[in-house]
Amino acid sequence: MSDENNAVNTIRAAGGLVWRDSVHGREIAVIHRARHRDWTLPKGKLEPGEDWKEAAVREVKEETGYCVQLKSFAGKISYNIKGTPKVVQFWNMEPIGESKFEPSKEVDRVRWLSVQKALEVLDYDAERELLRNNSK
């Protein structure tokens, strides 16, 4: 069994459940990746020398345009990509200020959705389960 924190062959990534309160109630940010044609939570791979929290904050800013404040650990999900294990750790976060989002080749849209709508839109079971566990 490999240790996800130092296994050479494990892809390490981090991301966030970015929450805000609106006139419509509590909402979460989800992103659309044109290349994959999917709706997902913002996340990405750790860079060399970067820790999980640093990566989570950086990736959320890159993919949503928001600076964020970490609140609490949300959980982790694991899956395989072409036979290589991938571990993604997530934190609950709140946006700070306004978004500086600009569509890119990687992420073409950011939407704020109610938990129920996000559960309908997200493409991955593990992310839906993570959202369910953090929306209680």
Whether the predicted pLDDT of 114 surpasses 80 = yes
As a whole number of angstroms, the distance between CA 92 and CA 111 comes to 17
Amino acid at 136: K
For residues 62-82, average pLDDT: 97
Mean pLDDT score, 22-41: 96
Yes or no: say if 20 and 95 are a contact pair by the CB < 8 Å rule.
Answer: yes
Q: What is the pLDDT of residue 9?
A: 87
Q: Tell me which H or E stretch contains 43.
A: strand 43-45
pTM of the model: 0.92
Tens-digit pLDDT profile for residues 76-103: 999 999 999 999 999 999 999 999 999 9
Q: Where are the domains of the chain?
A: 11-124
Let me know: does 20 contact 104? Beta carbons within 8 Å: no
- Pairing relation of β-strands 11-22 and 43-45? antiparallel
- Is the model's pLDDT at 66 over the cut of 50? yes
Both tokens of 100, joined, read 């500086």
Query: 11-124, what's its fold?
Result: Nucleoside Triphosphate Pyrophosphohydrolase (3.90.79)
Q: What is the model's pLDDT at position 136? A: 78
